Structure 1
Amino acid sequence: MPVRNALEALTMRPTRFLLSSWPWRSLAYLTGGALIGITTIFAVLFLLAAGVVLSVLVIGVAGYLATVLSGVAVGRLERWRMRLVDRDELPNPHRHPGAPGLRAWLMCRLREQATWRELGYTMISALMLCWMDAAVVYAAAVVPTMLLFGPVYLYGETSLWIMIPVAACTPVALAVAAYPVTAWAGARAAMARALLAPRSDDSDAKLVELSRSRARLVDAFEVERRRIERDLHDGAQQRLVALSMQLGLARLELADGSPAATQVTAAQQLAKETLAELRELIRGVHPKVLTDRGLAAAVGDVAGHAPVPVDLDLRLTGRLPDAVEVTAYFVVVEALANVAKHSEATRAAVSAGVRGGRLHLDVRDDGRGGADPERGTGLTGLADRVAAVDGTVALSSPPGGPTLLHVEIPCAS
């Protein structure tokens, strides 16, 4: 199993650990932390001083804003530096501004808790962590150096038998120093991850934006479905009706039993079959009855065409939001199709009602049960369709039946 971070590297065999890149990566990480922390101190002091001096001219506010937003730059740099000692990338907690321009970016960043956490991390790093980094690096570098060059400074003041063992201790000191350097680097990165990782509030903001985007997509798809249904209904379907009528009129002009009459009759029958298939296609794209008369009428139409007798109990007194009606309609269509194809049922039932601002929809059958979404019965796609409008799906289908599909969809305006 590959080592993912510096703390895990400490559990490696000593020979493997000392020959790996982890001690040097850790040393580079701590050296960078010390330099960045000290630089941050001077940069923040300069920005604060500039803000105080220029506050008389109002533009000093820019200095204060730059001080606050300095954490964003340090946080981004720290997430990049952490890859030295932690192979798991730390995700960016910031969201994209809702509008272009500097003002929108500033307002977005100042309202995010991630910005203030990064500022807090920057202050902690500058006031405390960078000095600890510098102390660890200093100790790891100075002690082996003193041992290595000690004989030079002690030449003539002590015997050769003492200087040689002291110099020989340098590799041992380097090997020993590798452990505290790596341990502190790993702990330092763990603290940075704890402070800079996205929190639930950041995730919630992104989740809200994702939900809004999904709702916009659902609406856009529904508009497109209605456009396709309208084009098919008003275009291709009307032309097929006209074609069937023209063929019927042509048939009247021909003698019965003639070859031409036979061909025209066959063509008229083919046009009627095509028209029937087109009507089924239109019903699958977006049924006109759903748009004109609502969910109850559309479900009644589906039940009337189902190959299995269907009992209806629809307690819907008014129209529901378009997305809810469309989703519920196709849930019924898919569920009744599954009943006809897989359940061997003799009867089905559909009930629906609105309670507590949610549409409750049940589809039952007396079939053999054992419905399994993993077997490609369309239940997975049905659940995805319901989830797109923040709904939930529950299925009860024990072997031997009966099967109950329960769907709940928020329907508040």
Structure 2
Amino acid sequence: MHARTAWQALAHHPLAFLATRWPWRALAYLLSGVGVGALTLVVLVGGLLTGLVLLPVGAGAAVLLAVVLGGGVVARVERCRLRLVDLDPAVTDRRAPDAPGVRAWLRTRLRDRLTWRELGFTAVSMTALWWMDLLVLAFALALPVLCVTAPLDDPGAWPWVVIGLALLPAAPYTVTGWAGARAALTRLVLAPRDAELTEVRASRARLVGAFDAERRRIERDLHDGAQQRLVSVNVMLGLARLDAGPDSPLGRRLDLIQGELTTAVGELRELSRGVHPRALTDQGLAAALTNLTARSPLPVTVDVALPGPLPAPVASTAYFVVAEALANATKHSGAGRAEVQARLRTDTLVLTVRDDGSGGADPAGRGLTGLADRVAAADGILRLSSPSGGPTLLHVEMPCH
């Protein structure tokens, strides 16, 4: 599984980490941090001093307000920089004000706790963090270089060469370690608090619940309505076929019509299963996945060991994740086999779908993006590993509370 953060890459693959892009991403993160911090210090301190000077004449209040709101600009830059060492998306920026509601937007921003956290983070960044970035870079990179080049000025300083060569291999770890710590601090301060996300999560859960309820209603209507009517028509055609001669033109037409109707009933039955499988509601996730993989043209090994039924939104999401993953493997990857595994660890469903195809799946594709959104709506996490040449591994974790 691909590492999502610099810390994960450093902890999971300490030797292979050196051959990845993470050390260079961490270096770019710290170098840009020095530049952004120094520029912020110059601009905001200059703005603060200008505002204080102009305060007696009335224009200073607007300048000071701009300084306060400037924390939001710095925070937006920090969220963009965060992607260098943390691939999980940070909290999205708030939208720009509409022209008619600028005053209301300003009042909302000034009352928003996140605005003041952004301003506080900006103050810490411009007074301390970028200096620490500079010190880490100096210790990790400049010091070993100075040690190695010391004999150029003093031939008797050759022991410093040994010290410099010993320090150089540690430089990527030092740079990446501090970059990971700085990114964690940034996410901690700039991400919204749980209380701020409560209404968003509740609204998302209501939308998912309503969507699943609508899917179940459509499935019932198809199964109990249109499908049963077509079956009845098929039976009546069979009775009419008995009254027609075995080799008569009418009998042959009835045979043709009955065959087409049987095909239509089968297609409608498959459609209703795709909308919401009856086995998922009646027998649970394990039975539904068994039925799904039995119809797959790809040989699939199913290993589902669950102690009991799962919450309906979790089971439904897991089913459609597997269905989409197997469909992608069949259509696009040229896989010969696939494996599906599901386990309940503590109160979290851990679902993996692996295939031996050619890999190269695009996480930004419409299908995978839709799956990631559906998993996120269930408060879960979806991760994808699909290097060129394969294999492809889809890993999903969803809480079951």
TM-score tier by shorter-chain length is: 0.5 to 0.7
2: CA distance, partners of 1:365 / 1:32: 60
Report the CA distance between 1:90 and its aligned residue. Answer: 3.6
Q: Tell me the alpha carbon deviations over residues 347-374 of structure 1, each in whole angstroms, 9 at most, x when there is no partner.
A: 1110000002110001111111111134
Report the CA distance between 1:309 and its aligned residue. Answer: 0.5
TM-score by length of 2: 0.55
Correspondences of 1:124-203 after superposition (within 5 Å): none
Structure 2 match to 1:398: 387
Distance 1:225 1:27, change over 3 A: farther
Structure 1 match to 2:333: 343
Residue pair 1:248, 1:268 contacting (<8 A) in 2 also: yes
Structure 1 match to 2:108: 92
Question: Which residue identity is paired with 1:274?
Answer: A
Match of 1:293 among 283, 302, 314: 283
Report the CA distance between 1:211 and its aligned residue. Answer: 0.4
Report the CA distance between 1:400 and its aligned residue. Answer: 1.2
Question: Which residue identity is paired with 1:411?
Answer: C
Structure 1 residue ranges without an equivalent (≥5): 1-6, 12-23, 34-78, 84-88, 96-111, 118-198
Structure 1 match to 2:256: 266
1: CA distance, partners of 2:56 / 2:257: 82
Report the CA distance between 1:32 and its aligned residue. Answer: 9.8
Question: Which residue identity is paired with 1:292?
Answer: D
Distance 1:262 1:219, change over 3 A: same
Match of 1:314 among 304, 311, 321: 304
Q: Tell me the alpha carbon deviations over residues 175-217 of structure 1, each in whole angstroms, 9 at most, x when there is no partner.
A: xxxxxxxxxxxxxxxxxxxxxxxx9797643311110111111
C-alpha RMSD of the superposition: 3.4
2: CA distance, partners of 1:202 / 1:254: 74
Structure 2 match to 1:379: 368
Match of 1:248 among 207, 220, 238: 238
Structure 1 match to 2:293: 303
Distance 1:207 1:31, change over 3 A: closer
Match of 2:357 among 355, 367, 375: 367
Structure 1 match to 2:221: 231
Structure 1 match to 2:130: none
2: CA distance, partners of 1:363 / 1:329: 11
Question: Which residue identity is paired with 2:296?
Answer: A
2:273 counterpart SS class: helix
2: CA distance, partners of 1:31 / 1:94: 14
Distance 1:256 1:26, change over 3 A: farther
Q: Tell me the alpha carbon deviations over residues 93-127 of structure 1, each in whole angstroms, 9 at most, x when there is no partner.
A: 599xxxxxxxxxxxxxxxx979xx9xxxxxxxxxx
Q: Number of residue pairs matched?
A: 245
Distance 1:27 1:365, change over 3 A: same
TM-score by length of 1: 0.53
2: CA distance, partners of 1:30 / 1:94: 17
1:373 counterpart SS class: coil
Q: Tell me the alpha carbon deviations over residues 242-268 of structure 1, each in whole angstroms, 9 at most, x when there is no partner.
A: 111111111111112222112211111
Residue pair 1:113, 1:202 contacting (<8 A) in 2 also: no
Distance 1:348 1:32, change over 3 A: closer
1: CA distance, partners of 2:236 / 2:252: 15
Residue pair 1:358, 1:408 contacting (<8 A) in 2 also: yes
Question: Which residue identity is paired with 2:375?
Answer: V
Report the CA distance between 1:29 and its aligned residue. Answer: 5.0
Structure 2 match to 1:389: 378
Residue pair 1:247, 1:268 contacting (<8 A) in 2 also: yes
Structure 2 match to 1:279: 269
2:349 counterpart SS class: strand
Distance 1:94 1:361, change over 3 A: farther
Question: Which residue identity is paired with 2:289?
Answer: V
Q: Tell me the alpha carbon deviations over residues 4-28 of structure 1, each in whole angstroms, 9 at most, x when there is no partner.
A: xxx79x99xxxxxxxxxxxx99966
1:338 counterpart SS class: helix
Residue pair 1:302, 1:333 contacting (<8 A) in 2 also: yes
Distance 1:31 1:343, change over 3 A: closer
Residue pair 2:300, 2:339 contacting (<8 A) in 1 also: yes
Distance 1:29 1:320, change over 3 A: same
Distance 1:200 1:240, change over 3 A: same
Report the CA distance between 1:234 and its aligned residue. Answer: 0.7
1:407 counterpart SS class: strand
Structure with greater Cα Rg? 1
